[in-house]
Chains A and B, each alone.
Chain A
Amino acid sequence: MLIPHPLLGPRDAQEFTYLGDAALIDRPDGLREPEAFHDYLYLRDNPAGVHRELWFHEQGDRSWLVVTRNTVTHEILGAELARDVARGRGRSK
């Protein structure tokens, strides 16, 4: 699979490590909401079809990407910097 890196162009998926569902960006406060934290940590939607997921360009520029990929065909539909996604949701960093 080739991942279209927003800064570097197409890169072999071998250079990346995979974390999973991009919902992991939205981490609840485990002390205030233990139930939500349990669901965050252990439960997954695990869809067959379009899936937004986190890939880390470990053997590259060390960027976290949010990649949109079809889990049935392995077709990659897009990639954006996870930093931009998080900022788009009002996170400060």
Chain B
Amino acid sequence: MRYSGLRVFREAMTGHKGWTPAWRDPDPQPSYDVVIVGGGGHGLAAAYYLAKEFGQLRVAVLEKGWIGGGNVGRNTTIIRSNYLLDGNQPFYEFSMKLWEGMEQDFNYNAMVSQRGILNLFHSDAQRDAYTRRGNAMILHGADAELLDREQVRRMYPFLNFDHARFPIKGGLLQRRGGTARHDAVAWGYARGADQRGVDIIQNCQVTGFRIVNGRVTGVETTRGFIGALKVGVAVAGNSSRVMAMAGMRLPIESHVLQAFVSEGLKPVIDGVMTFGAGHFYVSQSDKGGLVFGGDIDGYNSYAQRGNLPVIEDVAEGGMALMPMIGRARLLRTWGGIMDMSMDGSPFIDRTGIDGLYFNGGWCYGGFKATPASGFCFAHLIAKDEPHPTASAYRLDRFRRGAMIDEKGQGAQPNLH
């Protein structure tokens, strides 16, 4: 069924009796050409593009819980392509272009909103760094504008421009950045993949890999063995656990990152904004809640909940940037598990096992990468060679000294 305004109108006239489930609930078949482990944003996107772009007809997505129940449902929904390094920026700009066409492509309203993302700077050195970043973005075909203090003031007059330690000197604005409805991204990809024949199998946990002579032949699951010519793993927050079942140790530590939503307020922040002097960023949801967050808690965790010191730290960042946030009441806080790679950049790569592919290590930045990550993972699985924009995301880059140290920090909490 194709969704459209006309369809909504027709269903409204006929008592909404014509709607069908957005995707099937199939039992697993004995074998597939490609099995994707992990029904989150990246896994569902990979399955969608495998079917749509790379002609893979027998594809399954295995999800231990329900689709979209992991990090794609727990993030702060920001999309952007404001990176600096060659290994990153072409990939994230590819992702941004996919965001821009995504809803028409998979016929689902993901509420992609290009409301702009503004990175504030507070010193001359930071201005220079953002100038360089903006130039790198433009050279890679993205958009960037350097705003001075007065231009920022026109956008957000309520900010604390004259903070004693961190006065706002300006900002780097990417107008094409913004937000998207995170759950709808998972649902849209799931529906699009399902329509193209992908089996989405929920409540099906992978418990092991069957590996014969260095080649993967399928996966053991709570619903029995499922054979596969190729297996792709995209299980953010569980990467080390799942790949350990294939005998691999990863350059990853799992950490908890907290996020926050205030009570609903009248419209006040119409874009996304990041504080440049502490780790704090904020946007406002369509329901009116201020959505904000900060740094990882800084210790290994699989708990999906954090502790008070980081909440205090985030609150202090918010108070320094926009003191009026102190009047807003916090509605909810929650935590998600970030697979922090050692250089802060992700992996989309083959493994030492033939037919087994790995996608993970997205640190804080997995959501914005969802479309390109899925596309490039599908490319890698289908063609057994990396997509040009994701060619730097190799697992062996530490051995080669080819780290992508965008921020000079990875899992190492004392560098944050």
Contact = CB atoms under 8 A, between A and B. Distances in A.
Q: Do chains A and B touch in the complex (CB under 8 A)?
A: yes
A53 B300 contact: yes
Interface in B388-403: 398-399
Contacts of B300: 20-21, 46, 51, 53, 71
B252 A44 contact: yes
A18 B413 contact: yes
A1 B307 contact: yes
Interface in A44-68: 44-48, 51, 53
Contact of B301 (A44, A45, A71): A71
Nearest to B301: A71
B104 interface: no
B240 A45 contact: yes
Given A44-B249, A46-B250, A72 B302 contact: yes
Contacts of A53: 299-300
B249 A48 contact: no
B303 A17 contact: no
Interface string B285-314: 000000000000011111100010100000
A41 B244 CA distance: 18
Interface in A1-55: 1, 13-14, 17-21, 38-39, 41-48, 51, 53
B378 to A, nearest CB: 27
A2 B238 CA distance: 26
Identify which of B241, B249, B300 gathers the most chain A CB atoms within 10 Å of its CB.
B300
Contacts, number: 70
A1 B297 CA distance: 11
A74 B253 contact: no
Q: Report the contact-size class of chain A (Cβ under 8 Å from the partner).
A: 20 to 34
**Could you tell me the dominant secondary structure of chain A's interface residues?**
mixed
A19 B414 contact: yes
Contacts of B276: none
Nearest to B300: A71
B342 interface: yes
B243 to A, nearest CB: 10
A63 B107 CA distance: 58
B251 interface: yes
Contacts of B303: 71-74
Given A13-B307, A42-B342, A18 B253 contact: no
Contacts of A71: 254, 300-303
B253 A13 contact: no
B414 A17 contact: yes
A72 B241 CA distance: 13
Contacts of B399: 38, 42
A48 B414 contact: no
B398 A46 contact: no
Contacts of B253: 20, 44, 46
18 contacts: A1-B307, A13-B299, A13-B307, A13-B309, A14-B309, A20-B253, A20-B300, A38-B398, A41-B398, A43-B251, A44-B252, A46-B241, A46-B252, A46-B253, A47-B240, A48-B238, A71-B301, A72-B302
Pick the 10 closest A-B CB pairs, nearest first.
A46-B240, A48-B302, A43-B249, A42-B251, A42-B398, A14-B309, A18-B299, A71-B300, A72-B302, A18-B413
Given A45-B249, A47-B240, 16 more contacts: A13-B307, A18-B299, A19-B412, A39-B249, A41-B342, A43-B250, A44-B411, A45-B244, A46-B254, A48-B254, A51-B300, A71-B301, A71-B302, A71-B303, A72-B302, A74-B303
